[in-house]
Amino acid sequence: MARTAGTFGSVEQMASGQWRARYSHQGKRWTAPEPFSTAKLARGYLGSVKFAIESGTWLPPEKAHPQIPNEPKPVPTVAEFAESWITKRESGAIGTRKMKPRTAAEYRRLLKSTVPDSIAKLPVDQVTAQQIRDWYDGLCAAKRPTQTSRAYAFLKTVFTQAMPEHMGELAYITVNPCQVGGAGRHVEPAVKPDDDPQPENIEALATAIGPKYAAAVYLGAWCALRWGEVSALRRRDLDLTRKVVYVRHGAVWLTGKGVQVADPKTAAGVRTVAIPGHIIPDLKAHMDSMASNDPNAYLFPSRDPSKPVSESSFQHHWEKAREKAGLPKYRFHWLRHAGATWAGQTGATIAELQARLGHTTPAAAMRYQHAAKKRDREIADRMAKLAKPKKKK
């Protein structure tokens, strides 16, 4: 920051390129309520304050402050600007397509739960790179890497929206204060050997959870579906003759609205997944047991059959079954990991894994292909142990 001092007060240039005016009076340090576009305007403000003090008409900045020509318009706080951006994206006013409700809800959650008032209530152009770094270090200390990377990426995006490339001459900042290298990227840790899923684990879990949700376990594992995809399935989405499941929607939980069924976040999420033949009888048994034959009936309905079961309701059954099956504290997503790993072990290419899993990029699919290669090495090593040692000549 460039900083200059005069006979009364001082002015300093912020990362945004604007200027902040400060002065001391009555034993306190005061800051102009709004930044200035030039150092000259900031010094002019200080001159007006000095005159007010000397004439006995001075008031604290929050009550009244001298107005000078061309003083910039108030800049929104980080929270205000972020909410405005989210709202505009939701409505489709900006961007190439409307923001999904689940994404908007997640951004609002991150804004409320991870961004402190010391940043959220500051004008967008007054946040410094050091403040962002301190905030990020604090998030890292909590040891929640996934949330930390998401929160940082979100806030960096918000500040990017306030820059010239998005706002032109109306931009609030010219430099993004989010400058922590690699902070918005989180790479999932390699799967530990002890976490390698086994088919017998899935069978034990399906048996323990009972006929009401056994099919959900099979679909999550053997078709590698996400929970939101499984819970949004309807009768018409299962074609047992062709042995495929049509993934067309996803169920999400929105605060204040409950379970909502919407289109997948990306085009890659809409897909047709082949069903391994050995679970067809289990899926048929589930469909035969359903109360409704309506093609639009949910496979796993809530008490209100017009809505799918919520994740929290299912979680109650999941936890009891997991403990009964003697499995660690795995989440439903572990089933998807299992199915993806097995698909990789069959020799599926990255493109094939990407299509089956509904990924938009090959990065995630590559993780499962690498896991499969590691597993193949272990299998080969075990086979070698079974072979009889060759006789020395």
Is residue 226 part of the annotated active site? The answer reads yes
Catalytic residue among 336, 337, 356, 367: 336
Is residue 368 part of the annotated active site? The answer reads yes
DSSP 357-393: HT-SSHHHHHHHHHHHHHHHHHHHHHHHHHSPPPPP-
Catalytic residue among 331, 333, 370, 377: 333
Q: Which residues of 283-318 are buried (b: 16+ CB within 10 A; e: fewer)?
A: beebeeeeeeeeeebbbbbbeeeebbbebeebeebb
Whole-number Cα distances in Å, 251 to 87, 260, 317, 323: 21, 6, 18, 26
Whole-number Cα distances in Å, 304 to 8, 139, 316: 70, 40, 18
Q: Give the integer Cα–Cα distance in Å for 355 and 272.
A: 9
Is residue 20 part of the annotated active site? The answer reads no
Catalytic residue among 89, 150, 226, 367: 226
Q: In what order do the strands lie in the sheet with 244-247?
A: 238-239, 244-247, 271-274
Is 345 within 8 Å of 244 (Cβ atoms)? no
CA angle (268 as vertex; 265, 274 as ends), nearest 5: 120
Bridge partner residues of 261 (DSSP): 251
Q: Give the integer Cα–Cα distance in Å for 35 and 127.
A: 12
Nearest Cα residue to 245 out of 358, 365, 361: 358
Residue found under tokens 């990362």: 15
Q: Give the integer Cα–Cα distance in Å for 258 and 9.
A: 54
Nearest Cα residue to 367 out of 336, 389, 393: 336
Residue found under tokens 């989440």: 331
Residue 240 dihedral angles phi and psi, to the nearest 5°? -75, -20
DSSP β-ladder status, 3-5 and 238-239: unpaired
Is residue 359 part of the annotated active site? The answer reads yes
Is 190 within 8 Å of 372 (Cβ atoms)? no
Tell me the one-letter amino acid at 37: S
Catalytic residue among 234, 271, 359, 367: 359
| Residues involved in catalysis | 226, 333, 336, 359, 368
